[in-house]
Amino acid sequence: MSNPTTLGQLKRSVYSETRLKHRSVRDELRENLIAKLREGKPLFPGVIGFEETVIPQVVNAVLSKHNFILLGLRGQAKTRLTRMLTALLDPEMPYVAGSEVRDNPYAPISRYARDLVAAQGDDTPIAWLSPADRYIEKLATPDVTIADMIGDLDPIKAAKRGHDIADEMVIHYGLLPRANRGIFAVNELPDLAGKIQVGLFNILQEGDVQIKGFPVRLPLDLLMVFTANPEDYTARGKIITPLKDRIGSEIRTHYPLSIEQGIEITTQEAWVKRDGAAVHVPPYLREVVEQVAFIARDDKKVDKRSGVSQRLPITVMENVVSNAERRAVITGDAEAVPRVADLYAALPSITGKLELEYEGELKGSDHVARDLIRFAVAKVFHRHFEDTNFGQVIQWFDLGGAIKVDDQSSTTDLLAALEGIQGLMEKTQKLKPGSHPGARASAAEFILEGLYSLKRISRSSERGFMKESKPPAEAPNPDETPRRKRQFN
């Protein structure tokens, strides 16, 4: 059955005056949330790692009918979470057709809608909004004005329509009034100038706004959600205290708390399946990619206040797969199987996402990124081969053996060279590569890289893997690399 198109039809439908006039957006969100909780449906599908920390707090804020702020470092799914609040809105919502502020047909607040209903009565045209139409998002920047957020008078509109400049009909509504009966999100709130933040006081406390001195007050009905990075409090700007006091709930987000959660997020978000190319990413390589981000978040050379975004392992994984895909195209391999060497080819996707401390700046981002990869490989290698004896492999190098591993070597050539190292290929079975040539070659190279990361063998760009020239005592202990801490800031 089609939706009502006039006010008279609306009155005779399920959208009664009682339901629409006295049910606010926050009531609507609350009711739909309770229904989802009773049905046991997932509230925010695709948001991973927040099930026991952030999401319960968001649920409590909605149940309390609070405006709230998500506070966390970059790349912590804050914007994604706010956009998914639309899933708690009704599938459709009627409003007075042509109204800039989406007036409730039973309780219009704009001059335009009031005049239209008074003139046409039950013939007043009705239009409909989807949940996506009811979500408005604004990225806070220092150049945002009160006119952008609240509104201003429009002399051009006055001239075209022949209205007096003091007439309410010449108002140009800003984003807040246009978000009426919906959700309004402000990203990076501290970047909003202090005087603009003051302009939000009324809507947060009394639920209305005033526009440019006009003798009108708009009692808006909306939920306001903000996001912010704690670093911005002292860097680009800050949230003024009276505004913070008016925000109902402050909810802290965080990075994945475990490697498994990080892998799940990266697997969900990274573009790995390529058109026309078969791709197989070994599980241990997924661990290494994720471990790079975990170690970077604890590394003293990386600025912890800026954080290390979850976008880092996502883009690294995409770059790793792309390098493997390029190799497969050039060499004619049937399948693109990433190797550790492809991680080093993905350095551009790491260096651009690290804000370095003074010590890191001295060493350079490229050097820091290579160290992160080496420590990540050491961690994952130790996890898989903690009790494995590699005496035969190390002896082969001690007796003068050397092998050059090129990230552009074909699977056939690389596998032939690796099979010449005594005791190496049998050790790959712990990684379960099966009989697939590409997977076997990748596993064997990972073992060599692991031995190098622990300084059991050496490696140079000219000669490849070879005998370790430094005393084994200098080898880093994977258990002594920075341990992962829960980060809520």
Question: Which pLDDT tens digit goes with each residue over 21-37?
Answer: 888 999 999 999 999 99
pLDDT band at 475 (very low <50, low <70, confident <90, very high): very low
Q: Could you identify the residue written with the tokens 């001195």? A: 213
Pairing of strands 93-96, 126-129: antiparallel
For the chain, give the mean pLDDT.
Answer: 88
The tens digit of pLDDT for each residue in 163-187 reads 666 667 777 888 999 999 999 999 9
Per-residue pLDDT at 112 exceeds 50? yes
pLDDT at 474: 44
pLDDT band at 338 (very low <50, low <70, confident <90, very high): very high
Per-residue pLDDT at 458 exceeds 70? yes
Q: Could you identify the residue written with the tokens 């490229």? A: 366
Q: Could you identify the residue written with the tokens 């471990």? A: 291
Global model pTM greater than 0.85: yes
> Which domains are delineated in the chain?
7-252 (3.40.50.300), 259-480 (no CATH)
Q: How far apart are CA 5 and CA 125, in angstroms?
A: 6
Task: Please state, in angstroms and as integers, the Cα–Cα distance from residue 448 to each residue in 289, 340, 462, following that order.
Answer: 17, 10, 16
Per-residue pLDDT at 478 exceeds 80? no
pLDDT at 111: 87
CA atoms within a 13 Å half-sphere pointing along the CA-CB vector of 116:
23
pLDDT at 310: 94
The tens digit of pLDDT for each residue in 361-382 reads 999 999 999 999 999 999 999 9
Answer with the residue of higher pLDDT: 169 or 485. 169
Answer with the residue of higher pLDDT: 277 or 122. 122
Q: Are 207 and 221 in contact (CB under 8 A)?
A: yes
Per-residue pLDDT at 73 exceeds 50? yes
Query: Per-residue pLDDT averaged across 122-133, rounded?
Result: 96
Q: Are 395 and 353 in contact (CB under 8 A)?
A: no
The tens digit of pLDDT for each residue in 283-318 reads 999 999 999 999 999 999 999 888 899 999 999 999
